[in-house]
Amino acid sequence: MGMLPSASATEIASRRAAEAARVYIVCNDFESFDKQMVEVANNTKDIGLVSEIRAFMDERTRSLKRQEDEAERKRSEEKFSHMMQDLEEFRQESIAEIKQFREDIHKRSEMLQQTTDRVQNLAHDVRQFGVSCALSRRRVRSAATRGRSGH
């Protein structure tokens, strides 16, 4: 009976050698490695080895999933960061455009006020002197103003 355990150990050793021969090359090509591990797992009859291989492959799958999730999270964060940066640039540009629009409104308001003042002065002169006198009086005053300003 002493021979039986050694025959069993020899059988196990020979099966493992055959299984190892099926695993061609373990390299950094993880897809190939995963295929080789699946082949070993499907062809082996040693329950302990199968469970170890499956546990390893499950952990590897979970690890790859975590890496993919982390990469996706980083891509999302980068997209969000770019979006926030674009929004800030848009806000700054909008503020500048609003400021320019306000300045334009202010200039036009001043021009309108000057025109309104001229019209009121002309209306006052028309009421006081009549249309023909008001226009000639306006021309004289305008010529005198141009002479003083150096135009």
Backbone angles phi, psi at 28, to 5 degrees: -80, -5
Per-residue confidence (pLDDT) for residue 115, from 0 to 100: 95
- Regarding whether 114 and 51 lie in a shared domain, the answer is no
- Indicate the range of 19-28, 91-100, 101-110, 126-135 predicted with least confidence: 19-28
Task: Say whether pTM exceeds 0.85.
Answer: no
In-domain check, residue 98: no
- Regarding whether 111 and 68 lie in a shared domain, the answer is no
- Regarding whether 120 and 76 lie in a shared domain, the answer is no
Asked whether the predicted pLDDT for residue 63 surpasses 60, the reply is yes
Per-residue confidence (pLDDT) for residue 3, from 0 to 100: 44
- Indicate the range of 9-13, 19-23, 86-90 predicted with least confidence: 19-23
- Regarding whether 112 and 75 lie in a shared domain, the answer is no
Asked whether the predicted pLDDT for residue 78 surpasses 90, the reply is yes
In-domain check, residue 63: yes
Asked whether the predicted pLDDT for residue 22 surpasses 70, the reply is no
Number of domains in the chain: 2
